[in-house]
């Protein structure tokens, strides 16, 4: 008998806790999966503990301690590092991109769990995509931390007062949990590292928190939010309520009343939107989230389940649950229970959860919390917040490391090292030996290939010879232009040196320079037969996916 295939898309709070609960309920262990195949798919091989990201930025905890390897977290679950791009409900099949060449593959499922979370979508705000920092993954935390340290280094040596003011102005948009925790940690980080920057005075630092509503922390009671605001203001944070940032440029951001704030640092914690996959699925949505029923099934679908930030889940009343880790975890556990009950022909249970409380850290050993209706603030709330997260962290070793980091942070100065990653250039040379295949049919072209020396050969999918590519010739542009996978094979006839211009950078140039577009159009028209050109232009899930990514 073939195994029941349970596929989980997304390895965040909801996906990981669902996977763990399913293996627990089915008593699956590594190497022993009985009649079930449980598989989790995620684009990275680690789980991100997002609430700790502001602390990675400030250097309170080490970056590796805010993430955990998914394979270690999920014994009994098969892990696949890939990105799901499409779902065919009728065929019970998903399409994904995997491997370094991101080759499209199909995978069938009996039960599907959708937990891909949300992303920050600022596409409606001019300049945000180019000039704002977001905080969802480790890369984001690294980038923001390095940038802030870069601003301090630069501000310490510049003789230009206007530039100095811009470098020392930090703006955070959104005063929910993540915005408040981010500004609190930024403030603490800058404050504690200033001793190393003799030319910067603390009065020169501007920390601005911008909130569209009339209070910060709408998730908490007005009293605790007021406490948090007073605390931040007393520490020198400029809290601007009933305001929003409508535009960002390389040198400034603009409030909705037209006020210009000169800054090099804009962090956005607003604009939660659906991940690209969720926008393309044929399901009912509520404000971009997939509508679930009370049993955590996607509305109208018996074998597709959903939980976490991506899901609009009704909770007891018709209210939709908020996008928090607390809810993601509870939903995942309930979902796992219901899915197994469904497979075993048992009754399902409604999702109904009342949060026990909420808390936020304000930095500087202060916090606010509301637990079982009791409001706590200051140091006690800060301890409670830390204790809660220590308990939630996956694995004893991680808990111990984070606890030690927090303890040490109290006694030793902050680390102000700016760790630079070697920048990945737009263009890089690659060497291929005679006989090497650069592309096979069905692959995504990763860039424009320009031959420097040697000889390449292009053949169609049935092996028909198409052309020889000589030094100075290029290829790959047609697949990029049509957003399609390769339809032929490209191989090296001799040892060859190739310059590869990264796909995203080539696309930017292609879109911005009409003369380049004309050039490539004429080359395409003169080089390829009609049928090959039109074959590339056929729509496919991949074409739609890539095109969608383009428009955002």
Residues of this chain that interact with ligand FAD (CB under 6 A) are 9-15, 41-43, 50-51, 53-54, 83-84, 115-117, 135-136, 177-178, 181, 275, 277, 308-310, 323-326, 328
**H or E stretch covering 510:** helix 503-512
Given strand 465-469, what is the order of strands in its sheet? 437-439, 488-492, 456-460, 465-469
Rounded Cα distance between 111 and 343, Å, is 9
Tell me what percent of the chain is helix, strand and coil, each rounded to the nearest 5. 35, 30, 35
Q: What is d(CA 376, CA 359) in angstroms, rounded to the nearest whole number?
A: 9
**What is the DSSP track for 76-97?**
TSEEEEEEEEEEETTTTEEEEE
- DSSP string across 151-185: HHHHHHH---HHHHHHHTEEEEE--SHHHHHHHHH
Shorter beta-carbon distance to ligand FAD: residue 183 or 325: 325
Q: With respect to ligand FAD, which residue has the nearer C-beta, 5 or 474?
A: 5
Minimal distance, residue 416 CB to ligand FAD, in Å: 22
Least spacing, CB of residue 170 vs ligand FAD, in Å: 16
Q: What values do phi and psi take at 455, rounded to 5?
A: -150, 130
Nearer to ligand FAD, 51 or 476 (CB): 51
Place of tokens 């200051």: 378
Q: Shortest approach of ligand FAD to residue 324 CB, angstroms?
A: 3
CB of 269 to ligand FAD, least distance (A): 7
Cβ nearer to ligand FAD, comparing 7 with 253: 7
**Taking the complex as a whole, how short is the minimal distance between the CB of residue 387 and ligand FAD, in angstroms?**
14
- In 493-505, which positions are buried (b, 16+ CB within 10 angstroms) versus exposed (e)? eeebebebbbbee
Q: Which is nearer to ligand FAD, 115 or 132 (CB)?
A: 115
Question: What is the nearest approach in angstroms of ligand FAD to the Cβ of residue 93?
Answer: 15
Question: Smallest distance, Å, CB 73 to ligand FAD?
Answer: 12
Least distance in angstroms from the C-beta of 45 to ligand FAD: 10
Minimal distance, residue 435 CB to ligand FAD, in Å: 35
Closer of 168 and 209 to ligand FAD (Cβ): 209
Is the Cβ–Cβ distance between 46 and 67 less than 8 Å? yes
Minimum CB distance to ligand FAD smaller for 166 or for 295: 295
Q: Which of 82, 98, 72, 85 is nearest to 41 (CA)?
A: 82
Distance CA 161, CA 103 (A): 51
CA-angle at 387, arms to 381 and 390, nearest 5°: 140
Nearer to ligand FAD, 351 or 439 (CB): 351
Pairing of strands 474-475, 447-453: antiparallel
- Smaller CB distance to ligand FAD: residue 51 or 454? 51
CB of 461 to ligand FAD, least distance (A): 28
Cβ of residue 118: shortest distance to ligand FAD, in angstroms? 6
What is the distance between the alpha carbons of residues 438 and 391, in angstroms, rounded to a whole number? 49
**Cβ nearer to ligand FAD, comparing 369 with 500:** 369
Given a contact cutoff of 8 angstroms between Cβ atoms, the answer to whether 39 and 8 are in contact is yes
Measured between alpha carbons, how far is 394 from 250 in angstroms, rounded to an integer? 39
Closest CA to 204 of 159, 169, 250: 169
To the nearest whole angstrom, how small is the minimum distance from the Cβ of residue 14 to ligand FAD?
3
Strands (E), 11-129: 36-42, 46-48, 67-69, 78-88, 93-98, 103-108, 111-114, 118-120
Which regions of 179-271 does DSSP assign to beta strands (E)?
206-210, 237-240, 245-248, 252-255, 260-262, 265-268
> Given the complex with ligand FAD, which of 338 and 489 has the nearer CB atom?
338
Which is nearer to ligand FAD, 106 or 201 (by Cβ)? 106
SS3 150: helix
Contact assessment for residue 188 and residue 364, using Cβ atoms and an 8 Å cutoff? yes
Q: What residue number has its CB nearest to ligand FAD?
A: 12
Q: How far apart are CA 404 and CA 401, in angstroms?
A: 5
To ligand FAD, the closest distance from the beta carbon of 42 in angstroms equals: 5
326 or 482: whose CB is closer to ligand FAD? 326
């Amino acid at each position: 008998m073939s195994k029941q295939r349970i596929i989980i898309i997304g390895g965040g709070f909801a996906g990981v806790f669902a996977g763990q609960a399913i293996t627990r309920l089915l008593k699956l262990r590594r190497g022993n999966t009985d009649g079930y195949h449980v598989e989790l798919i995620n684009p990275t091989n680690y789980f991100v503990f997002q609430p700790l990201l502001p602390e990675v930025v400030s250097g309170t905890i080490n970056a590796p301690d805010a993430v955990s390897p998914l394979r270690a977290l999920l014994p009994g679950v098969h892990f696949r590092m890939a990105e799901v791009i499409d779902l065919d409900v009728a065929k019970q099949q998903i399409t994904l991109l995997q491997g370094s060449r991101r080759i499209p593959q199909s995978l069938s499922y009996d039960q599907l769990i959708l937990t891909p979370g949300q992303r920050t979508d600022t596409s409606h705000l001019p300049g945000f995509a180019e000039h704002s920092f977001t905080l969802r993954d480790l890369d984001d935390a690294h980038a923001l931390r390095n940038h802030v340290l870069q601003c301090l280094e630069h501000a310490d040596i510049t003789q230009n007062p206007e530039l100095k003011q811009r470098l020392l102005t930090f703006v955070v948009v959104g005063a929910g949990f993540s915005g408040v925790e981010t500004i609190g940690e930024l403030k603490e980080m800058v404050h504690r590292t200033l001793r190393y920057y003799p030319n910067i005075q603390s009065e020169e630092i501007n920390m601005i928190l911008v909130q569209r509503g009339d209070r910060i922390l709408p998730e908490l009671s007005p009293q605790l939010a007021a406490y948090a605001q007073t605390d931040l203001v007393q520490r020198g944070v400029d809290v601007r309520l009933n305001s929003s940032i409508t535009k960002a440029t390389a040198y400034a951001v603009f409030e909705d009343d037209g006020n210009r704030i000169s800054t090099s640092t804009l962090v956005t914690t607003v604009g939660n939107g659906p991940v690209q996959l969720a926008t393309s699925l044929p399901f009912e949505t509520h404000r971009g989230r997939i509508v679930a029923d009370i049993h955590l099934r996607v509305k109208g679908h018996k074998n597709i389940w959903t939980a976490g930030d991506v899901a609009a889940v009704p909770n007891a009343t018709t209210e939709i649950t908020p996008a928090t880790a607390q809810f993601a975890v509870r939903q995942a556990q309930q979902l796992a229970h219901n899915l197994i009950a469904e497979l075993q022909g048992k009754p399902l249970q409604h999702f109904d959860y009342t949060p026990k409380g909420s808390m936020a850290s304000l930095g500087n050993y202060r916090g606010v919390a509301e637990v079982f209706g009791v409001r706590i603030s200051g140091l006690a709330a800060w301890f409670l917040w830390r204790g809660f997260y220590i308990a939630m962290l996956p694995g004893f070793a991680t808990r111990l490391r984070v606890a030690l980091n927090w303890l040490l942070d109290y006694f030793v100065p902050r680390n102000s090292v700016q760790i630079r990653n070697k920048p990945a250039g737009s263009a890089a040379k690659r060497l291929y030996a005679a006989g090497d295949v650069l592309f096979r049919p069905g692959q995504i072209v990763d860039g424009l290939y320009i031959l420097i020396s040697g000889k390449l050969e292009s053949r169609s999918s049935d092996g028909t010879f198409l052309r020889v590519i000589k030094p100075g010739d290029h290829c790959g542009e047609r697949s990029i232009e049509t957003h399609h996978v390769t339809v032929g094979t490209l191989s090296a006839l001799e040892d060859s040196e190739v310059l590869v211009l990264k796909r995203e950078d080539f696309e930017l140039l292609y879109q911005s320079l009409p003369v380049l577009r004309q050039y490539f159009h004429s080359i395409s028209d003169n080089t390829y037969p009609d049928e090959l050109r039109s074959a590339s232009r056929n729509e496919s899930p991949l074409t739609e996916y890539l095109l969608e990514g383009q428009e955002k």
